[in-house]
Amino acid sequence: MKTILLPVENRPPIEAALATAALLARRFEGYVEGFALAPDMPMIVSAEAFGGAMVATDPGLTLSEEDTAACRNLFEDAMTAQGLSRQDSDAAGARFGWHEDGKVNSRIFVGSYGRVFDLCVLCRPASGSDAARMALLETALFDSGRPALIAPPAAPGTLGDNIVIAWNGTPEAARTVAFARPLLQRAGKVTVVTVAGAQVEGPGGADLARNLRLNGIACEAQEVAETDARGAAFLEAAARLGADLVVKGAYTQSRLRQMIFGGATRHIVTEATLPVFMAH
């Protein structure tokens, strides 16, 4: 978790994303790189009838020099206020830098440039109809090959001290847990939460908790009752346990199915009030 990519947009709740990225960087003495994100990216979506593949048009938007400068100033002021040093500083600890090219296609850039970072920190979509941020999140998850950390609407006070793993036994969940290993190793408490009746065939929460303990991670497992929305059960458990981070595999159902019927990923992405670590 040493290298963090942060798209910066000059609108709320970017302050929470800035604070979340800085928290993570300080935890690992890492590096945050910001770049200016073009706002209100238009998107046309088509869905294959059975596969649920989503195809978005190339937004082709760039920011003016003034808007890019405003994003940069916002980023650099926030990182400095959070105690991070500039990349070229001799000071020890967490650092930050700015990607100079302000003419990149923002969404495509996240999917390509994000491949050389440990993860990307993103603002939480305001709702399922927040097409621009949903598209950015899906590009980060599907095109970068790296995890995403979704910042909550309000800046968190801590990150990774008390972690809930939302486990359903899928390959996406397993992959996300593997990506999150550095965070899990530093956590004071880790709880694997499963939802009754929502587990795929394979190892359950107790199996994962045992494996994590064998890897030196203090961990326990809990099963909770299913609610109307599976994602709500995970979030309710996280609140009850006082968690400051949820680790969740993304889109274990197709995106089309989640768009029409809902799903745990979509609910957690739009409703979480704490940071969420996701991978596909």
Q: Domain ends where: 151, 173, 195?
A: 151
pLDDT at 47 over 50: no
Q: Domain ends where: 123, 151, 179?
A: 151
pLDDT at 230 over 70: no
Same domain? 141 vs 168: no
CATH number at residue 108: 3.40.50.620
Which whole number is the average pLDDT over 224-230? 78
Give pLDDT, residue 63. 74
pLDDT category at 142 given cuts 50, 70, 90 is very high
Q: Please state whether 197 falls in left (phi above 0), alpha (psi between -120 and 50) or beta.
A: left
Could you tell me whether strands 219-224 and 148-151 are parallel, antiparallel, or unpaired per DSSP bridges?
unpaired
Same domain? 114 vs 166: no
pLDDT category at 130 given cuts 50, 70, 90 is confident
In a domain, residue 212? The reply is yes
Give pLDDT, residue 57. 47
Same domain? 171 vs 199: yes
Same domain? 10 vs 131: yes
pLDDT category at 39 given cuts 50, 70, 90 is low
Q: What is the pLDDT of residues 194-219, one digit of tens each?
A: 999 888 888 999 999 999 999 999 99
pTM: 0.88
64 Cβ neighbours under 8 A, 6+ residues apart? none
pLDDT at 275 over 90: yes
In a domain, residue 233? The reply is yes
- Whether the CB-CB separation of 141 and 277 falls below 8 Å is answered with no
d(CA 232, CA 145): 27
d(CA 133, CA 84): 26
Q: Domain ends where: 104, 124, 151?
A: 151
Which whole number is the average pLDDT over 261-277? 84
Q: What is the pLDDT of residues 77-119, one digit of tens each?
A: 999 999 999 998 888 899 999 998 755 667 788 999 999 999 9
Same domain? 133 vs 234: no
In a domain, residue 156? The reply is no
In a domain, residue 128? The reply is yes
Amino acid at 233: A
- Whether the CB-CB separation of 152 and 15 falls below 8 Å is answered with no
**Could you please report the per-residue DSSP string of 11-50?**
STTHHHHHHHHHHHHHHHT-EEEEEEPPSS-----EE-TT
In a domain, residue 7? The reply is yes
Give pLDDT, residue 61. 57
Range of the domain at 240: 162-275
Alpha helices in the chain (DSSP H): 14-28, 65-81, 106-113, 131-143, 171-179, 181-186, 205-214, 230-241, 255-261, 264-271
pLDDT category at 158 given cuts 50, 70, 90 is very high
Same domain? 71 vs 131: yes
- Whether the CB-CB separation of 121 and 24 falls below 8 Å is answered with yes
Q: What is the pLDDT of residues 176-186, one digit of tens each?
A: 999 999 999 99
pLDDT category at 73 given cuts 50, 70, 90 is very high
In a domain, residue 157? The reply is no
Same domain? 18 vs 56: yes
What's the Cα-to-Cα distance from 243 to each of 26, 60, 64, 246, 272, rounded to whole Å? 19, 39, 40, 7, 12
